Amino acid sequence: MTVSVLVPSSLSREAEDKREATRKLGYVARAATIFRADRLIVYPDPGGDDGRFGDGFVETVLRYAATPPYLRKEAWGKRDELEAVGVLPPLRAPSQTGSESNGSGSTRQGIVTEVGPEGRVRVNCGLQHPISLNTPPGMEVGEGERVTVRISSRRPVRAKLVDESPPGFAVERTDLPAALGREDAGVRIAASRYGEPLTVGRLETLAGRVERDGMTVAFGAPERGLPPILGIDQVAIEAAYGDTEGDANVEPSDLRTETGFDLWLNTVPNQGSTVVRTEEALFATLAPLSLRA
């Protein structure tokens, strides 16, 4: 089961400055960590980007946030997009804090600092010094690549390189159709106030599908939700889910064909604020969808 969370490149469009924008992205990373997302995908929204913080700002800050603290200096150095990363809330993921390092077979993320002969590499994985490890058969790594290290003991150091994805969530940049078309996309959900209200009964049937197949959940930007990003009339969405007397011929299957989503879902059906911020919507949406049948 794979969980993918999609956010637009225009996510920081309403922030007054880089500090506020960075803090907002920090809570997006927190939500991805808390609810064990496997991928946090930034999809392009050319119509909503204002370019104030530079191209790729959202993706860069999220990638930095997903990097364990012990690797950030080496992995990132100094970049304009990262001027305000001091306000990022800590993710406190076990693989980043090292709180599992005393357990047998715990894993940590590392960076290859040197590739030597006979399949040996030096890896910085947050220990006192980089360690020399053998590369598993069939695995090829290059200098600067991020890898997974399984540590069984710190004193003395006993570790090995494993051919697995680094722990934590991965940050990618992919357009919406490609993200929704992945083989492991699972249940493809568009989070929108115009979708079907999430009820206890609806969640009961949906939880089983998500637990079995995984899910891909997409969110819009501040003051620019998924309908305008996709060029879809919100009235058509409301009509498909019975909330308006609009076009009676609109069916959920029509939206599925047109947008690629299996379901448009309103996870805050009785919201008390006129606007639910994207980072708030992540928590409100991923919390119930993480419940198991």
DSSP for 226-265 reads: HHHHHT--HHHHHHHTTSSSS-TT--HHHHHHHH--SEEE
Residue 103 has a pLDDT of 45
Residue 168 has a pLDDT of 83
CA distance 198 to 200: 7
CA distance 203 to 239: 21
CA distance 262 to 214: 13
pTM of this structure:
0.88
- Identify which of 128, 118, 169 has the alpha carbon closest to the alpha carbon of residue 151: 128
Residue 54 has a pLDDT of 79
CA distance 247 to 239: 6
254 alpha-carbon distance from chain centroid: 28
Token couple for 36: 């064990």
CA distance 32 to 64: 14
113-117: list long-range contacts, CB under 8 Å, 24+ apart. 113/74, 113/143, 114/143, 115/141, 115/142, 115/143
CA distance 147 to 123: 8
Tell whether the torsion through CA atoms of 145, 59, 82 and 34 is positive or negative. Answer: negative
Token couple for 169: 């969530």
Token couple for 160: 């090995």
- Tens-digit pLDDT profile for residues 239-254: 888 655 544 566 778 7
Residue 238 has a pLDDT of 87
pLDDT < 50 stretches in the chain: 98-103, 246-247
93 alpha-carbon distance from chain centroid: 14
Paired residues of 162 in beta bridges:
148
- Tens-digit pLDDT profile for residues 84-121: 999 999 998 765 554 444 445 688 899 999 999 888 99
CA distance 189 to 258: 14
Residue 206 has a pLDDT of 95
One DSSP character per residue, 13-45 reads TT-SSHHHHHHHHHHHHHHHHHTT-SEEEEE--
